[in-house]
Amino acid sequence: MSRVQRYTTSTAGRWAMLVIGMLATASTALLLNGAAFLIPALRDQRGLSLASAGLVVAMPTAGIVLTLFAWGAVVDRVGERRSLIAGSVLTSVAAFCAAATESTVALAVFLLLGGMAAASVNSATGRVVVGWFPPHRRGLAMGIRQMSLPLGVALSALLIPGIARDHGVGTAMLLPAVASALSALACVVGVFDPPRPSRSAASSADLLANPYRGRRDLWRIHGASVALVVPQYVVWTFALVWLVDQRTWSPEAAGVLITVSQILGAGGRIAAGAVSDRVGSRLGPMRWVAVGVVVVMAALAIADALGLAASVVILVVASVATVSPNGLAFTAVAERAGPFWSGRALGAQNTSQFIAASAVPPAFGALITHTSYAVAFGASAAIALLAVPTIPREARDRLHQ
């Protein structure tokens, strides 16, 4: 048995690949989601309005929308390892270019290109988990993988506002640039494609069996995920500004609170995944969490409208609740799509989510400008409510082998 075979068949090797996948996902989160924490610096240093700054920081999520499905097809065709390496390198290059420019327009363009490159990580790391972990461990493993996103946001909240304020927007962009370069190197060393049926040995019927034809479950999971991603991005994008503007916190103190909230959110994703393994269902726990998201966002809207001090505590709870269902939906999609379609299905899953996510900063920025934060929080709760009946109802979701 070769060294690579010993590594990939060992428990330690599988967990090492999961950790590297987390690093890659967290690195892209520094660009995709960390851009939101540039808003105070874009307003103060470049004179942008909240809506205009929101448009600039929405560029990474707009970019990822353009290429998620294409990267999913690439992963289906060439495998996870090469896709991860190429995507991480290209993300790093785009972030370095964003760091080097003084032009706001060029910054937006490079953020867009960085998002387009970062799309490779989503499908590839999801397939690494599904491919290397057995069904009764996938929920937990995917929850751990998904925790890298809130951890990346937490690191962004802790570092990016202060760096951007003291040293400029360009210097802050060095953080995702370096992190993506390091993750590319880690993928070269420690990630290998999981075993799957050979495309050459598979029948044409298996290769062409589109899981979207004659079925509604994948479409409904995508739809529910879109509804649930809106409050998630409302919280991620505007929590820092809300704490500074409405609660008169300093950017540093607000960043620390958001960091703690995101760490707690990472734990929420792990817990949701572990529960799904225990109960043998991805969609049941997803529905439970969706109900919780509706309740907590409505509570946040009411507390903010009344000026209650408890609104800060509710914001922390919302930060945990809104990120918890992602891993459940991601795992359910990968399991149902099968080995020859999971890359594209995960690409479609994330494309639909990021289309909604990219609209949140400018749309809700304008809504807040013309109404209030309370109205924005209430609107996101109403949108999340649509997810509850949309999630497929099954007596028990079979965990696919």
* Residues whose CB is less than 8 angstroms from the CB of residue 9 and which lie 6 or more positions away in sequence, other chains included: 1
Euclidean distance between CA atoms 156 and 152, whole angstroms: 6
Fill in the DSSP letter of residue 196.
-
In tens, the pLDDT along 6-17 reads 887 788 888 899
In tens, the pLDDT along 202-249 reads 545 555 567 878 788 899 999 999 999 999 999 988 998 899 988 989
Radius of gyration of the chain (CA): 20
How far CA 45 is from CA of 51, 165, 174, 278, in Å, comes to 15, 8, 18, 50
Supply the pLDDT for residue 217.
Answer: 87
Amino acid at 229: V
Q: What kind and span of H or E run contains 246?
A: none
In tens, the pLDDT along 317-332 reads 999 999 888 888 888 8
Euclidean distance between CA atoms 114 and 176, whole angstroms: 10
For residues 326 and 225, the answer to whether their CB atoms sit within 8 Å is yes
Euclidean distance between CA atoms 54 and 358, whole angstroms: 9
**CB burial class (10 A; 0-12, 13-18, 19+) of residue 200?**
exposed
Structure token pair of residue 30: 């520094």
Structure token pair of residue 160: 């990016």
Structure token pair of residue 370: 């013309």
Span of 130-144, 164-178, 355-369 with lowest mean pLDDT: 130-144
Supply the pLDDT for residue 372.
Answer: 94
